[in-house]
Amino acid sequence: MKHIISALVENKPGVLAQVAGMFAARAFNIDSLVVGRTEDPKLSRMTIVVIGDDRVVEQVRKQLAKVVPVVKVQDFVGEPVVARDLMLISIVAPPEKRPEILSLIEMFKGKVVDLGLKLVMVEVSGPEAKIEAFINACKPYGIKSVARTGTIAMPRTAKTEP
């Protein structure tokens, strides 16, 4: 089962290495890892996606909480979250195929960010399944390159809040 773990960590050098080292030392595989500053410049949020059974992921969560610069750890499994990935993809786009490709981009709510003589670079964001579906839809045209961020996530706002 896929688990999205959020770790609030101190924003200082070496924290990413400590966290990655903890995973490597315990032979836990990271499916994706994204780190970025929060609203507090002293803190960063790590969003770590791991695949494993609940027991394995609980062990990961506990070990992560023991890393000194980690302030808070949360596993979003079973909770309502908003999760998104970001991708840049360069698609082979000869002039005669561009109308089809642009229609596909529009269907996936993508955004053209660079246009060349033979390639079009597109930005797509959304759930991982949408990103994968867009990649699959582009394969017949030819994909030159792909760069992805991995998953970022936050819990949904409670329905009782205004």
**Same domain, yes or no, for 39 and 56?**
yes
| Higher local confidence (pLDDT), 19 or 110 | 110
What is the number of domains present in the chain?
2
139 lies in a domain? yes
3-state secondary structure of 158: coil
C-alpha dihedral (124, 34, 51, 81), degrees to nearest 10: -70
Closest C-alpha among 55, 50, 6, 43 to residue 24:
50
| Domain boundary pick from 14, 44, 75 | 75
Residue 124 domain boundaries: 82-154
**Same domain, yes or no, for 58 and 100?**
no
109 lies in a domain? yes
DSSP 150: -
Average pLDDT over residues 53-73: 86
159 lies in a domain? no
162 lies in a domain? no
Q: pLDDT tens digits for 134-154?
A: 999 999 999 999 999 999 999
Q: How far is CA 43 from CA 37, 38, 59, 72, 75, in A?
A: 6, 6, 24, 11, 18
| Domain boundary pick from 43, 75, 107 | 75
- Domain CATH code at residue 56: 3.30.70.260
**Same domain, yes or no, for 9 and 26?**
yes
- pLDDT cut 70: percent of the chain above it: 97
160 lies in a domain? no
pTM given for the model:
0.83
**Same domain, yes or no, for 69 and 95?**
no
Q: pLDDT tens digits for 15-62?
A: 999 998 888 888 888 899 999 999 999 999 999 998 888 888 888 888
**Same domain, yes or no, for 86 and 150?**
yes
